[in-house]
A = this chain, B = another copy of it.
């Protein structure tokens, strides 16, 4: 496969965009597009729509395809998109990956199939290889999504090695949401020099990741704090870097005291003065009033704001 038609790889801060729902739990494309545009104006280099924080696994493939189409119709460039396309079902992963590549998305972020536990690297290799072969498109740039605390199915270093050996260029990188810096470091040490792009799964590790050859981060709190996080990426080589990192880590610590996804939605609802944003699709539930009060109070006390949201 020729790499000539590939979109330039995204580097920097990506937001796994939260998905707004109407009261009947249907996805609200208008609010979704507006939030995506705000994120790009505010410092995000790209949008990892349909990530864990997007409640992507509470959405059907057809709902995700429709949102992707609305996003591009709404003026977001596919070159800034890295949608999540990994599902339990091989055929679902193929369908959404193909759609993303055909739309010209810069990449896809792919979960392993996550229902069956204790699966082998051989089985996971077959899954990713089958998707790549079936999509059969030289433009595909696939980022592996390692998030064992949620998926319970891990992406091991030997699996990465086998995939990049077989599919160089196509298997383009990884998002490491293990929460374990030593694992991210091991991925960087083993593969960064070969052109494999490692993204930290939390801005907590952004500066460390940049200092060891990483390419940025894909982080939940990118949904509400994109500007300051993007500044760490932008200024990581400067003397201010550690101070900037301490600032975004402090904000992260406030947010992650609450259940993450409803907390992000509460923040957007509050600072954007738009209560509908609080709705989560079951089995997730919105923050209760006391959780939200604590979250917003602590954010304000820390000087937090979301400039340009309203």
Q: Which residues of A contact B (CB under 8 A)?
A: 25, 52, 55, 57-61, 63, 88-92, 95, 112-117, 119-120, 122-124, 126-127, 130, 149-153, 280-285
Q: Closest CB-CB distance, A275 to chain B, in whole Å?
A: 18
- Contact (A90, B281) CB under 8 Å given A25-B130, A130-B25, A150-B115: yes
Q: Is the CB of A283 within 8 A of B150?
A: no
Q: Is the CB of A61 within 8 A of B60?
A: yes
Out of B59, B60, B88, B282, name the residue touching A127 (CB < 8 Å): B282
Q: Is the CB of B112 within 8 A of A283?
A: yes
A132 to B151, CA, bound (A): 27
Q: Closest CB-CB distance, A77 to chain B, in whole Å?
A: 27
- Contact (A57, B124) CB under 8 Å given A119-B283, A119-B284: no
Q: Closest CB-CB distance, A147 to chain B, in whole Å?
A: 10
A92 to B115, CA, bound (A): 15
- Chain B residues positioned under 8 Å from A55 (CB to CB): 116
- Contact (A124, B91) CB under 8 Å given A25-B130, A57-B115, A61-B60: no
Q: Is the CB of B282 within 8 A of A91?
A: no
Q: Pick the 7 closest A-B CB pairs, nearest first.
A: A123-B283, A57-B115, A127-B282, A126-B282, A119-B283, A57-B88, A60-B91
Further 16 A-B residue pairs, CB within 8 A, beyond A57-B88, A120-B285: A57-B116, A58-B88, A60-B89, A60-B95, A90-B281, A112-B283, A113-B282, A113-B283, A114-B115, A115-B150, A117-B150, A117-B152, A122-B285, A126-B283, A127-B282, A153-B283
- Contact (A283, B130) CB under 8 Å given A60-B89, A90-B58, A91-B63: no
